[in-house]
Structure 1
């Protein structure tokens, strides 16, 4: 009898295990298919959510000015964002394309005349001698220089074309993200309730708190990373335009991109300083150098001031999350990395509080027992 019961229970267990495995396998396949379907929309939707969180306070203010028309306010902000995004891109891309095309034609014709380098160029430390030699070759014998450095020239042209192509795809993605953000902002209340409901369902009673933390962290990173990069690029770019540096707009844009990527602006500034010292007098070149170096180092004191505002998370946690996320996942990792580390920090502090609460509760219980025994 016992053997029959054991056999029956074993058969039931095996049937349940097989049935559960089949269900889990089918669910796993369904998840994979679902991810393949929505994969092209994941990045634009994430960016749309980030933009919506960042612009939500401005949308509310603009909606109040427009008599509570939240949808109109969100649409106007999205259109303004598209204009601000497309206009500089068209200007910079057109300038790069025209410059590369004209340079290619001139080099092919061999009619260009380049002034020769001065002794100042040769006196520059480390790279002066080699730079003087290359410059002198292009100035004296263009055809020979083009033939000698033809592979490098072709590589530069190909890199410029690839940059334009990838930039165009990125711009289109951001335009789509702006309109997705407009939809999120127009239905902010219902979207917020849905996010909070899902958060509470997934992580429990701290879900709503962490949802608010996510929004605050995104705003903090936007202000502390993108905002600082914008301020830094304006300061450096002002020096480029004041001193008449060639391709000042393009160099300013590169400084802005480097700032977002958490790369030092000095990588762009130092070659320009060498160029200025080679073509201008010592006094203006020194003034330019001091200006751009201070502007390039401005992020060191701007980030502590701006990053971490509005959240209880320490600034280093957000900064490390932004930098690590940027390295692992690109630009969007700036926000995802900061959010993930912020949530982990909250989890850690919550765990410490729980342990402390248990210790205090046990201490209070012991004191109550001692007082009861004393009575």
Structure 2
């Protein structure tokens, strides 16, 4: 007959096995579920407020928030894509019209001065050996066709995977907004921790993720404004468009806002403005690029119980270990460690002295030297005869 202790050990083993199986099942959707949990925590206050305004319809409130997130992502991307496509079409029409009216030589009038000689030599070689060049180009395209097809297939697969993860994230976000409170209550009830400790940890996570999200968006906005100042000073064409692109690229850790400034500097260099290009490149790398490492930790630490330097290294360390999602996982890992240590010190550590508590008895002091000799101190324990004599 099995003992109670043996049954408990077996049951603990079954619990650990079930946890491993659940982690394996959700591993393909880890990033989607993690981002959904982060967004659900960040929009918890708005979900509560909307639910009250909609007479307790939590599902409708969650749907409105999810739709708002979709529109906040798709509308700017659609606007930027439409602008880029319109500019490309306009440029192609301009070049085709110019070639029809003035031939290939007409393009040389729009080439910047330092590049005119090189462009003229290239045009002359192209015209003299155009047949051979076209044949060579066709041969190269045929030889590289398989590699190009494989590359395009990889891009399409990555895009499809990103869209799939985004859809899974939105579905998980909706249900977390609707039933997130009950989920937290269930975790509190089944957690082996003391009552309230699980909720405290989850609250700390929500505070950290909200601080990171707000600081990321605010930093991207500051970088976009700083870049816009550089674009206006150096005369970049369509500066508002480049500022909008800078904002979105600032949200991508692997690229950053400085890349857009450098690209705009190359545009200035290609159009014959070398001084402005150098100024813009320096402005983008020094001011726009490095401001991310200064502003984001300063803004993020306001919602975290940690020093700004710790936030800085948590952001960089998480980014290097976990990739882009490490901007959240890094601070969360450090916050989890600090919260666990703080809860342990408060609930299990040495009790601190409080006002009104009996004072700790002083240690026995060494005898004090008098004029005639040594006299025992008042803290010396008295024997039984001495107590009776008193």
TM-score tier, shorter chain, comes to: 0.5 to 0.7
Q: 2:60 aligns with which of 72, 79, 84?
A: 72
Question: Against the structure 1 CA distance between its residues 167 and 322, is the aligned structure 2 distance closer, same or farther, given a 3 Å change threshold?
Answer: farther
Summarize deviations over 1:152-173 as a string: whole Å, max 9, x none.
9997897677445423432332
- Are positions 1:319 and 2:319 aligned together? no
Q: Which moved more, 1:171-180 or 1:74-83?
A: 171-180
Superposition map of 1:124-273 within 5 A: 137=122, 141=126, 144=133, 147=137, 162-163=154-155, 165-198=157-190, 201-202=192-193, 206-233=197-224, 235-236=226-227, 243-244=236-237, 248=241, 252-253=244-245, 256-261=248-253, 264-273=256-265
Structure 2 counterpart of 1:125 = none
Summarize deviations over 1:128-152 as a string: whole Å, max 9, x none.
xxxx969974796396498499699
Structure 1 counterpart of 2:336 = 343
Instruction: Give the Cα separation in 2 of the matches to 1:230 and 1:152.
Output: 42
**Superposed CA RMSD:** 5.2
Summarize deviations over 1:290-323 as a string: whole Å, max 9, x none.
7655444432442244112222222332332233
In structure 2, stretches of 5+ residues that fail to align are 366-377, 383-390
Question: Against the structure 1 CA distance between its residues 254 and 162, is the aligned structure 2 distance closer, same or farther, given a 3 Å change threshold?
Answer: farther
In structure 1, stretches of 5+ residues that fail to align are 1-11, 123-131
Structure 1 counterpart of 2:35 = 47
Structure 2 counterpart of 1:61 = 49
TM-score (ref. length: structure 1): 0.66
Superposition map of 1:291-306 within 5 A: 292=284, 294-306=287-299
Could you tell me whether the CA contact under 8 Å between 2:32 and 2:166 is conserved in 1? Answer: yes
Other structure's SS at 1:313 match: coil
Deviation at 1:218, TM superposition (A): 0.7
Instruction: Give the Cα separation in 1 of the matches to 2:145 and 2:228.
Output: 27
Summarize deviations over 1:76-117 as a string: whole Å, max 9, x none.
1101212232344456667889969x99xx9xxx99956475
Could you tell me whether the CA contact under 8 Å between 2:249 and 2:256 is conserved in 1? Answer: no
Summarize deviations over 1:218-241 as a string: whole Å, max 9, x none.
111111224423542465368669
Instruction: Give the Cα separation in 1 of the matches to 2:348 and 2:266.
Output: 59
Larger radius of gyration: 2
Could you tell me whether the CA contact under 8 Å between 2:197 and 2:343 is conserved in 1? Answer: no
